[in-house]
Structure 1
Amino acid sequence: MAEITDDVRLRTMTSADLDRVLVVEQACQLTPWSMTNFRSCLSSGYRCKVATREGEIAGFMVLSAVLDEAHLLNIAVAPAWQRRGIARWMLEQAIARAVDEDMSVMYLEVRAGNQGARKLYEQLGFEVCGRRPNYYRTTDGHEDAVLMTLML
């Protein structure tokens, strides 16, 4: 895997980013979030971030924070930028911020069949804590969501 270059930046997502964020989402997800989902997250004060390089959105993540718990709701990296460490880097930034803010735990859920993401999460210290049977739609049915947690 290639390393992240110094010219990738993480910044707060704005409404002006949403068209480009939606393109990334649609390229990465079988059942993508809608524009309404992203607008709702922005207006609700969720932690919405974009990773940019030379003005291009390479990836994004959306987290919620309640009391001392953080929940990774969505993360995606544009296909042209995948396998370069951007998702890991974004997650490391989110984890570091959660630790700085004295959060105690970070949660996420992932498709059972998304082995690449599951491996990344495990490498970052997340552990499986449950399953939601038949949670995600697939092209030919449904698959489980794997629930994971990271104690901070």
Structure 2
Amino acid sequence: MSAVLSAQVEMMPMGHGDVDEMLAVERAVYPFPWTRGNFLDSIASGYSSWGCRVAGELVGYYVLMLALDEAHLLNLSVTEKRQGMGFGAGLLRHAMRSARRGGAMMMLLEVRPSNDKARALYRHFGFQQIGVRRAYYAADAGREDALVLQHPLAEVSA
């Protein structure tokens, strides 16, 4: 995020009252978005949900599940008009640091092979592919695999 924007940028926990905004972003950026139920279930389960706002506008968010010494990044989304401006990196960095503070030693996530922007972001942060989940995601032509990525959280950089 540029220095000009950083004065207006706020990271804040997301809750039930933010679901409509999160859902609007989700529906705008994904052809197969999470449902309201996915967000509500994640919040009810106590998963860490954080949003990034610029001058009050929600520009992105993430949902993170902690289990023992692992963190699983379930969702990270940035509005289309704010992509490429560093918000995804800021959200990912926040998620990694939050996971580390929560005792996680490793972060895992799934990403579509067709999501070049997300794959580039994760590559920049040093995530490594450790597997493939076959036919994991809904897709226009049936199902799409998920690449399973991991990153040790001993140090958070990038």
**TM-score where L is the length of structure 1:** 0.93
Counterparts of 1:38-53 in structure 2, within 5 Å, are 38-53=39-54
State the one-letter code of the partner of 1:3: S
Write the distance in 2 (CA, Å) between the matches of 1:39 and 1:100.
Answer: 24
Write the distance in 1 (CA, Å) between the matches of 2:121 and 2:59.
Answer: 18
Write the distance in 1 (CA, Å) between the matches of 2:144 and 2:92.
Answer: 24
Contact 2:106 2:152 in 1 (8 A): yes
Contact 2:68 2:103 in 1 (8 A): no
Per the alignment, residue 116 of structure 2 pairs with: 115
* Alpha-carbon offset, residue 65 of structure 1: 0.3
Q: Report SS of the residue matched to 1:91.
A: helix
Write the distance in 2 (CA, Å) between the matches of 1:10 and 1:41.
Answer: 18
Write the distance in 2 (CA, Å) between the matches of 1:100 and 1:33.
Answer: 27
Write the distance in 1 (CA, Å) between the matches of 2:82 and 2:49.
Answer: 19
Q: Report SS of the residue matched to 2:135.
A: strand
Per the alignment, residue 132 of structure 1 pairs with: 133
Q: Which runs of 4+ in 1 moved over 3 A?
A: none
Per the alignment, residue 156 of structure 2 pairs with: none
* Alpha-carbon offset, residue 3 of structure 1: 3.1
**TM-score where L is the length of structure 2:** 0.90
Contact 2:13 2:50 in 1 (8 A): yes
* Alpha-carbon offset, residue 79 of structure 1: 1.2
State the one-letter code of the partner of 1:34: T
* Alpha-carbon offset, residue 60 of structure 1: 0.8
Contact 2:70 2:104 in 1 (8 A): yes
* Alpha-carbon offset, residue 30 of structure 1: 1.5
Stretches of structure 2 that go unaligned for 5 or more consecutive residues are: 154-158
Per the alignment, residue 29 of structure 2 pairs with: 28
* Alpha-carbon offset, residue 81 of structure 1: 1.3
State the one-letter code of the partner of 1:140: A
Contact 2:62 2:95 in 1 (8 A): no
Write the distance in 1 (CA, Å) between the matches of 2:114 and 2:35.
Answer: 22
Q: CA RMSD in A?
A: 1.3
Query: How many residues matched?
Result: 151
Write the distance in 1 (CA, Å) between the matches of 2:118 and 2:78.
Answer: 11
* Alpha-carbon offset, residue 140 of structure 1: 2.0
Per the alignment, residue 62 of structure 1 pairs with: 63
